Amino acid sequence: MAVPTAARTEDGRGAKPRRRRPPLLLGGLAGLVVAAMALPLVYLVVRSFEGGWEEIAEVVLDGDTLAVLGRSALLAGVVTAASVAISVPLAWLTGRTDLPGRRAWAVLAALPLVIPSYVGGFVLVSVLGPRGMLQGWLEPLGVERLPEIYGFPGAALALTLFSYPYVFLTVRGALRGMDPAMEEAARSLGSGAWAMFARVTLPQLRPGIVAGALLVALYCLSDFGVVSLLQYQSFSNEIYVQYRSAFDRTPAAILALMLVALTIAVLLVEGRTRGRARYHGNAASRPSNTVVLGRWRLPALLFCGGVVLFALVAPVGVLGFWLARGLAEGEPLRPLWNAALSSVYASGLAAAVTALAALPVAILSVRFRGRVSGLVEKATYLGYALPGIVLALSLVFFGANYAPWAYQTLGLLVFAYAIHFLPQAVGTTRSALLQVRPSVEEAARGLGRGPARVAATVTAPLAGSGILAGAALVFLTTMKELPATLLLGPTGFETLATRVWGATSEAFFARAAAPALMLIGISAVPLYLLVIREQAK
């Protein structure tokens, strides 16, 4: 018997965050985190002004400095554009079409993320550089010289190949979150496949593309390894050279401050591109339609295969080649274990500290929304605006002058890591907490549990995997981190990253291969876990 229609209960969407004063302890902890975040930047400003306005004007207006600025902007722009051009078709092909093995392609296309860009840079130099592998093969054919790889072409190529996955992953996420009815509406209104893509799909993907492009642009500005190896005089390279060679270190501080200004400018531009549109991050309720590739199948496969070949297979293959050669020449593997242990130890510490520091900030911004908590959250994103080399430099100055007891200790290094990667942990922790609806917590309170019990029995199990994902991400990026480790590591402290760096900067490719491969292998574990988690959603 049909029941008369009952009033539909509200489904609890958009539960309002409660506006109330956060507990003192929470506010205090978040305040401490923010103060720690601000320390390097504030000190950098102080240090830059030591020489007064005159010195600042002298450094900033110098023709060389302006050239450096232009080169940095050019590199970031070209690499970002190239990454978008590679990633959008890649994400669409693996997400929306009947491409054979599309799930496998999606994982393979994300994997270059585990290859640190300086490893990629060294592979590039060892293959394409003068007296490199390619020239060795071509020499019998009478090729004496290859096109110059050093400078812009090499740096742009290496950075694109190893940072495009940032865009790929965000675009893929946006594609998954899109309501399939949106595309169907476009089709039923008369748009063919291409028109639909251009007029509806692409605009929907815009936030994803912009978010990924932002990550790539910031990555390019902060990258140190590739530009140093390939001798491209961009900011981070120039800062390092200044710091190492000049007696007066104030110019290095001023250059660093300029780089910070450039990154902040990029962040501001990103904020401007969000128009009036509001995009809903709704999970697709049903699978979207699959586009049949037909005769485009072969070109699509070639495209995916090409990207994976150049960004993943070739680099790992070349490393394997150098490893075999090194072993044949009797390169010892023993010191490697110590370096690997140091890497895992420092990265593990950094992951734990960062995840803990992210908690009060995330709880504050999700559960106690207001102007102050918004500012606190924004302040943590300063980490994005501080490239590793700048952060390291500032802490070196600070440690040497004010905290000699901390200077060149593991503690200061972990502190630097935590500041550098806090935004990543805050981001994942925040979205994990956002998924725990306040009404669920309130239901637990209503059932007679106190706040602490609710946090332990309801919030933690629901948000726990997100918090762990944040820690895994921090672990992954810390493993690959180079400039801060180089500048702040205790004397004699060797990680896989510094070993790779030490060997490659002296062109001992065979010696760099083993730690590089090991680094890739270890960082693949957390990345694998992250990808599995994303696929399970």
Partner 1 sequence: MSAAVRLQGVGRSYGPVAAVRDVDLEVGRGEVLALLGPSGCGKTTTLRLIAGFEAPDAGTVEVGGRTVAGPGINIPPEKRRVGMVFQDYALFPHLTVAQNVAYGLPGAKRKGRVEDVLDLAHLEGLGGRMPHELSGGQQQRVALARALAPGPEVVLLDEPFSNLDAALRVRVRAEMRDILADAGATAVFVTHDQEEALSLADEVAVMMDGTIAQKAAPEVLYHNPASRRVAEFVGEANFIPGTHENGRLSCVLGEVPACGECTGNVEAMLRPEALRLRALQNGGVTGDEAGATVISREFYGHDQLIKLRLDSGPVLCSRLGGGPGFRPGERVAVGVSGPALVFPKP
Rule CB under 8 A: which residues touch partner 1? 1-2, 4-8, 10, 179, 181-182, 184-192, 196, 199-200, 203-204, 206, 275-280, 289
Q: Minimal CA–CA distance to 108: which of 318, 316, 303, 304?
A: 304
Nearer to partner 1, 277 or 298 (CB): 277
Q: Decide whether 10 or 329 has the Cβ nearer to partner 1.
A: 10
Cβ 316 vs Cβ 383: under 8 Å: no
Q: How far is the CB of 183 from partner 1 (least distance, A)?
A: 9
Q: From residue 28, give the alpha-carbon distance in Å to each of 32, 254, 360, 417.
A: 6, 32, 9, 22
Q: In the complex, what is the shortest distance from the CB of residue 213 to partner 1, in angstroms, rounded to a whole number? A: 17
CB of 71 to partner 1, least distance (A): 35
Task: Give the chain's radius of gyration (CA, Å).
Answer: 25
| Cβ atoms < 10 Å from Cβ of 45 | 13
Contact 203, 244 (CB under 8 A): no
Instruction: Determine contact, residues 59/137, Cβ cutoff 8 Å.
Output: no
Q: Given the structure tokens 């680094």, which residue do they identify?
A: 519
Token pair, residue 202, equals: 């692409």
SS3 content of the chain, % helix, strand, coil (to 5): 75, 0, 20
Q: Which is nearer to partner 1, 1 or 536 (CB)?
A: 1
182 or 336, CB closer to partner 1? 182
Least Å from the CB of residue 204 to partner 1: 7
CB closer to partner 1 out of 277 and 536? 277
Q: Give min distance, CB of 290 to partner 1, in A.
A: 12
Tokens 């004397």 appear where?
Answer: 491
Q: Which one, of 487, 488, 363, 476, lies nearest residue 414 by Cα?
A: 488
Which residues are paired to 82 by β-bridges? none
| Min dist. Cβ of residue 211 to partner 1 (A) | 16
- Max CA pair span of the chain: 90
Closest to partner 1 by CB, 190 vs 492, is: 190
Nearer to partner 1, 192 or 404 (CB): 192
Across 418-522, where does the E strand assignment appear?
A: none
**Residue 188 CB, nearest approach to partner 1 (Å):** 4
